[in-house]
């Protein structure tokens, strides 16, 4: 092993073209020892170097099945944690920029969730009546919390199946950190809006009365994705006025009102597959992250499809967008020299319980 890691600072002055060449050379030098994962929301300059692309769980599973020693996750912190949890013990998970996080995931931390669980226990026996369900967009210790309390993890693709599983075991669900995925999925399952209450983690008892908690089917954490909250009903109405036969498709992290006005609602993969399979010449308004929408627009231009970002304002996820070619080049060239930088390692006890919650999901 090299004695010291290569310093990051000199990479800041590299232009993207130079980084591109150095990334390619480092990948060739490392061969099968490294796998680069590119989440759909990554910028094109990084996404182009991915060996696998897709949603976070899919990518982690592909990395675990690979022969790679090093998993370089071009995504955010919770994604690299999942990769570390479900990969083989000898594999190393790396996040090129440690500041790449998820603001929504940060809206629920273990201390807050533990306190909420204790407060729920003052009204009803939480471990008997409530299944904790965490969106995969959450920290490893929250997945571990679910593992310890008979709970489970969900994705935007399988949320309805996960909720079916949860309600078959206990009568209520505590859903965190994204209230909108919970509400949109619950409503689709026939749960009335007045049986889905919002837990405000800044207030005692979540700002709810004992009667509201007892009458609720779903207790939704007051979390959200700021990008998906940029989408508004009037943007859909304007699109339909200008494109009467156009289609609207949104991610379930968008608001209830936006999803109700959309023709299709589903995960990132669902959005990609639906638009790709559509007839040539169709027009689409898309409510999800800008990099993905732009990539679809460029990819499908040959089919004369118009793929339009829902918001008139440019709003990309600043943390999903964080990883740049400079950080990727730095990480890979360190690996060539025998140095591991920015390793993401989940503590064994946390990983063990998080793996239980993840495995429950994978078993469904």
DSSP per residue, 260-300: HH-SEE--HHHHHHHHHHSPTT-EEEEES-HHHHHHHHHHT
The pLDDT assigned to 42 comes to: 87
pLDDT 10s digits, 86-137:
999 999 999 999 999 888 999 999 999 999 999 999 999 999 999 999 999 9
The pLDDT assigned to 291 comes to: 86
CA distances (Å), origin 206, targets 93, 104, 219, 225: 36, 18, 10, 20
The pLDDT assigned to 323 comes to: 93
The pLDDT assigned to 320 comes to: 62
How does residue 348 score in pLDDT terms, banded at 50, 70 and 90?
A: very high
Nearest-angstrom CA–CA distance, 269 and 156: 10
How does residue 318 score in pLDDT terms, banded at 50, 70 and 90?
A: low
pLDDT at 286 over 70: yes
Report the percent of the chain where pLDDT is more than 90. Answer: 90
8 Å CB contact between 59 and 74: no
**Which residues sit opposite 71 in a β-bridge?**
35, 93
pLDDT at 65 over 70: yes
pLDDT 10s digits, 261-274:
999 999 999 999 99
Which two structure tokens, joined as six digits, stand for 269? 């993969």
- HSE, CB side, 13 Å, CA atoms: give it for residue 135: 30
Residue with tokens 């990554």: 42
pLDDT 10s digits, 8-53:
999 999 999 999 999 999 999 999 999 999 988 888 999 999 999 9
Percent helix, strand and coil across the chain, each rounded to 5?
A: 50, 15, 35
Mean pLDDT of 275-289: 96
The pLDDT assigned to 325 comes to: 96
The pLDDT assigned to 4 comes to: 83
Mean pLDDT of 273-293: 95
Task: Domains for the chain: give ranges and CATH numbers.
Answer: 9-101+320-347 (3.40.50.10800), 105-225 (3.40.50), 228-309 (3.40.50.10800)
What is the rounded average pLDDT for all residues in the chain?
A: 95
Buried b or exposed e, range 287-317, using 16+ CB within 10 angstroms: bbbbbbbbbbbeebeeeebebbbbbeeebbb
Cis peptide before 291 (omega within 30 of 0): no
Nearest-angstrom CA–CA distance, 206 and 117: 11
8 Å CB contact between 4 and 19: no
pLDDT at 3 over 70: no
pLDDT at 2 over 80: no
Q: In what order do the strands lie in the sheet with 34-39?
A: 52-54, 34-39, 70-74, 92-94
């Amino acid at each position: 092993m090299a004695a010291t890691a290569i310093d990051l600072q000199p990479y800041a002055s590299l232009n993207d073209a130079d980084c591109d060449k150095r990334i390619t050379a480092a990948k060739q030098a490392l061969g099968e020892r490294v796998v680069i994962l590119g989440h759909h929301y990554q910028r094109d300059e990084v996404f182009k170097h991915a060996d696998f692309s897709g949603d976070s769980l899919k990518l982690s599973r592909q990395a675990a099945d690979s022969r790679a020693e090093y998993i370089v996750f071009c995504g955010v912190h919770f994604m690299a944690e999942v990769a570390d949890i479900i990969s083989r013990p000898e594999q190393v998970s790396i996040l090129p920029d440690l500041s790449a996080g998820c603001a929504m995931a940060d809206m629920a931390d273990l201390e807050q969730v533990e306190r909420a669980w204790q407060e729920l226990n003052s009204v009803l026996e939480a471990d008997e009546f409530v299944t904790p369900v965490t969106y995969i967009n959450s920290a490893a210790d929250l997945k571990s919390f679910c593992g310890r309390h008979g709970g489970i993890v969900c994705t935007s693709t399988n949320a309805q199946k996960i909720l079916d599983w949860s309600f078959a075991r206990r009568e209520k669900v505590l859903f965190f950190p994204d209230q909108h995925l919970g509400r949109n999925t619950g409503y689709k399952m026939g749960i009335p809006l007045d049986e889905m209450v919002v837990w405000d983690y800044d207030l005692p008892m979540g700002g709810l009365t004992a009667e509201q908690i007892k009458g609720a089917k779903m207790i939704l954490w007051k979390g959200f994705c700021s990008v998906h909250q940029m989408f508004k009903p009037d943007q859909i109405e304007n699109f339909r006025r200008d494109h009467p036969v156009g289609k609207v498709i949104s991610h379930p992290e968008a608001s209830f009102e936006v999803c109700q006005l959309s023709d299709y609602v589903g995960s990132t993969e669902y959005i990609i597959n639906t638009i790709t399979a559509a007839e040539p010449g169709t027009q689409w308004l898309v409510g999800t992250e800008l990099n993905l929408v732009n990539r679809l627009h460029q990819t499908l231009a040959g089919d004369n499809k118009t793929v339009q970002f829902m918001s008139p304002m440019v709003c990309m996820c600043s943390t999903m967008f964080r990883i740049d070619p400079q950080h990727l080049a730095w990480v890979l060239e360190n690996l060539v020299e025998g140095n591991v930088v920015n390793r993401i390692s989940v503590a064994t006890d946390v990983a063990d319980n998080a793996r239980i919650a993840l495995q429950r999901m994978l078993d469904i």
